[in-house]
Amino acid sequence: MTIGTYRTVKVEKEDGIGWLYMNRPEKRNAMNPQMHFDMDAVLPEIEGDPEIGAVILTGAGEAFCAGQDLREYFRGLDGDPMGRRRAGEASERWRNRRLAGFNKPTIAMVNGYCIGGGFTQMLCCDFAIAADEAVFGLSEVNWGILPGGLVSKKLTDTLLFRHAMYYACTGRTLDGKRAAEIGLVNESYPRDRLKEETVALARELMEKNQEVLRATKHAIRAVRTMNDDQAFDYLAAKGAEIKQRDRENAYANGIKQFLDDKSYKPTFGAYDREQAIRDNQAAE
Ligand code: COA
């Protein structure tokens, strides 16, 4: 499947991974309105592409994302309420809806600066892996706004209250190692290992049964705002949904491979999906 070409966004496909680049390296991948429109359009294309099993979102060049474009997104739209609305809606939609609700695993690979509004897409990905040398910062307090959109919300959903308050109110920067210590990202690695470690995580995720993984990632995100009764009900419904959608029959094959074939232990990795498909065919 061919994915369209976009002005501010680049997609490369490699061994089942969709590499999605914010692509304005000369502006440190600051998000202008065009980038929001491009992202809003490309994400459904990637989601529907059968050649892509996982997405890695990263920045072209030396930065991940320098936040909203102060020239084009802020000053440029100050006198243009309709333009602001259109860009604002696209800005929220591609990150808080499309990315956060994506049906395939998503990993933010934070290669350099991740500033202000750039936190949102990093936090909307299921996972984040940073270079030790990456620089994170909530600069808003330093220039006259607060971490708006949904930055403050996503931040406090992710971090302990004390850390969220501290970094939002001081604007102090932190590197990848510190980001991993406080749980802002999953892991941090020296820059020369960043790509291989991020790809290793993507591969591990792609080995899982994709319906089970999809339901699990949506559930982990969704139950955070539910009470126990709601969560119990929701998880039961998601479990039933897996049975309905899963053509590989993970449940029966996983148990068979452990109990009967003794060919794997669920504690240490995914069941053999190829074997499961062969067994399903033999049973038909
Ligand atoms: N909006 C608009 N332009 C931006 C930008 C942003 N958020 N971030 C960087 N740029 C532009 C710079 O104006 C510069 O443009 P120019 O070459 O036309 O002068 C270019 O990108 C390179 O930026 P520069 O500051 O020279 O790069 P650097 O590597 O020395 O520093 C940053 C990178 C990210 C530390 C610095 O650019 C910065 O602080 N940017 C603002 C980040 C911010 O506060 N974002 C919050 C938005 S919610």
| 120 CA from centroid of ligand 1 (Å) | 17
What is the rounded CA–CA span in Å between residue 134 and residue 233? 40
Instruction: Answer yes or no: do 115 and 215 share one domain.
Output: no
| 146 CA from centroid of ligand 1 (Å) | 18
- Ligand 1 atom 20 nearest Cα: 27
Ligand 1 pocket test, pick from 28, 64, 145, 154 with the greatest ligand atom count within 8 Å of Cβ, gives 28
Percent of the chain at pLDDT exceeding 70: 100
Count structural domains, the chain.
2
Instruction: Answer yes or no: do 174 and 263 share one domain.
Output: no
Residue 98 domain-assigned (yes or no): yes
| 69 CA from centroid of ligand 1 (Å) | 8
Q: Which atom of ligand 1 is nearest to the CA of 117?
A: 48
Residues of the chain with pLDDT under 70: none
* Beta-carbon contacts of residue 2 (< 8 Å; ≥ 6 apart): none
* pLDDT attached to residue 176: 98
Element (H, E) at 233: helix 228-245
Instruction: Answer yes or no: do 127 and 247 share one domain.
Output: no
In sequence order, what DSSP letters do the residues of 108-164 get, joined into one string? EEE-S-EETTHHHHHHHSSEEEEETT-EEE-THHHHT--STTTHHHHHHHHS-HHHH
Residues 94 and 37: beta-carbon distance below 8 Å: no
Q: Which of 184, 206, 228 is the last residue of a domain?
A: 206
Instruction: Answer yes or no: do 158 and 223 share one domain.
Output: no
Instruction: Answer yes or no: do 18 and 139 share one domain.
Output: yes
- Ligand 1 atom 15 nearest Cα: 27
Residue 3 domain-assigned (yes or no): no
**In this structure, what CATH number is given to the domain that contains residue 89?**
3.90.226.10
Strands (E), 16-83: 17-22, 54-59
What's at 261, amino acid-wise?
D
| 72 CA from centroid of ligand 1 (Å) | 12
Q: Which atom of ligand 1 is nearest to the CA of 147?
A: 48
Instruction: Answer yes or no: do 191 and 110 share one domain.
Output: yes
Q: Which of 175, 206, 237 is the last residue of a domain?
A: 206
- Ligand 1 atom 44 nearest Cα: 139
Ligand 1 contact via 135 beta carbon (within 6 Å): no
What is the rounded CA–CA span in Å between residue 203 and residue 205? 5
Instruction: Answer yes or no: do 176 and 232 share one domain.
Output: no
Structure tokens of 136?
A: 């994170």
Which residues span the domain enclosing 128? 9-206
- Three-point CA angle 37, 95, 199, nearest 5°: 105
Instruction: Answer yes or no: do 188 and 243 share one domain.
Output: no
- φ, ψ of residue 56 to 5 degrees: the values are -115, 120
Residue 78 domain-assigned (yes or no): yes
* pLDDT attached to residue 284: 83
Q: In angstroms, how far apart are the furthest CA atoms of the chain?
A: 69
| 22 CA from centroid of ligand 1 (Å) | 14
Inter-CA distances, 179 with 135, 176, 189, Å: 9, 5, 11
Residue 122 domain-assigned (yes or no): yes
Ligand 1 contact via 28 beta carbon (within 6 Å): yes
Residue 1 domain-assigned (yes or no): no
What is the rounded CA–CA span in Å between residue 177 and residue 206? 26
Residue 15 domain-assigned (yes or no): yes
Residues 129 and 186: beta-carbon distance below 8 Å: yes
Ligand 1 contact via 59 beta carbon (within 6 Å): no
* pLDDT attached to residue 7: 97
- Ligand 1 atom 31 nearest Cα: 28
Residue 4 domain-assigned (yes or no): no
Instruction: Answer yes or no: do 15 and 98 share one domain.
Output: yes
Ligand 1 contact via 118 beta carbon (within 6 Å): no
Residue 2 domain-assigned (yes or no): no
- Ligand 1 atom 32 nearest Cα: 66
Nearest alpha carbon to residue 15 among 195, 206, 197: 206
* pLDDT attached to residue 1: 86
- φ, ψ of residue 78 to 5 degrees: the values are -55, -40
* pLDDT attached to residue 157: 96
Instruction: Answer yes or no: do 199 and 252 share one domain.
Output: no
What's at 234, amino acid-wise?
Y
What is the rounded CA–CA span in Å between residue 66 and residue 110? 12
Instruction: Answer yes or no: do 199 and 248 share one domain.
Output: no
Q: Which of 156, 184, 206 is the last residue of a domain?
A: 206
Instruction: Answer yes or no: do 78 and 180 share one domain.
Output: yes
